[in-house]
Amino acid sequence: MKKFILLLFAFTLTTSCDITEDDRPNFHYEILAVEDFEIPDTFDYLSTHEIKLYYKLPSNCHTFGGIYFERFLNERTVGIQSIVTNRANCLANEDELLETSFNFEVISKENYLFKFYKGKDANGNNIFEEVEIPVNSD
């Protein structure tokens, strides 16, 4: 009887851990281009500035997932993060321009270099629009 219970327990344990197709995520993430942006010509040291971003969602399977933001020293890389639902019946969106923004806190007296993601070229290389913003430290 003990062997039977042990065997039943082992069978239950192994079958309950099977991964089925339904357990797979039905979405993935995609970084979208920043179509346009509004950024100040200069920053004031130790202040906060709003930066506006404009973007398009390529299909009705795309939803806004946040702002992609990467920092390295005084360089900032910015893009739009989207969540894409994996389904076959996605329809292309109109060319509606959407807006989001974030507040940027200036903590350095050195110039900042913003690199706004613009998409990929014909060879699959990332394209960026770079803007250098001087910091007023008076």
Domain residue ranges in the chain: 25-136
**Among candidates 34, 40, 39, 49, which has minimal Cα distance to 98?**
34
Contact 80, 116 (CB under 8 A): no
Whether the predicted pLDDT of 40 surpasses 80: yes
Please give the mean pLDDT across all residues of the chain: 87
Contact of 135 with 97, CB cutoff 8 Å? no
More confident residue, 27 or 113: 113
- 18 or 94, greater pLDDT: 94
pLDDT at 9 over 50: no
pTM above 0.75, yes or no: yes
Residue-level pLDDT at 6? 45
b/e sequence 3-34, b meaning 16+ C-beta within 10 Å: eeeeeeeeeeeeeeeeeeeeeeeeeeeebbbb
User: Options 1.20.120, 2.60.40, 2.30.30, 3.40.50; which CATH number does 25-136 get?
Assistant: 2.60.40
Cα 109 to Cα 111: distance, rounded to the nearest angstrom = 7
Tokens (6 digits) for 21? 């197709």
- What average pLDDT does this structure show over 123-131? 97
pLDDT higher than 80, residue 50: yes
For residue range 88-100, list pLDDT tens digits in order. Answer: 888 888 778 999 9
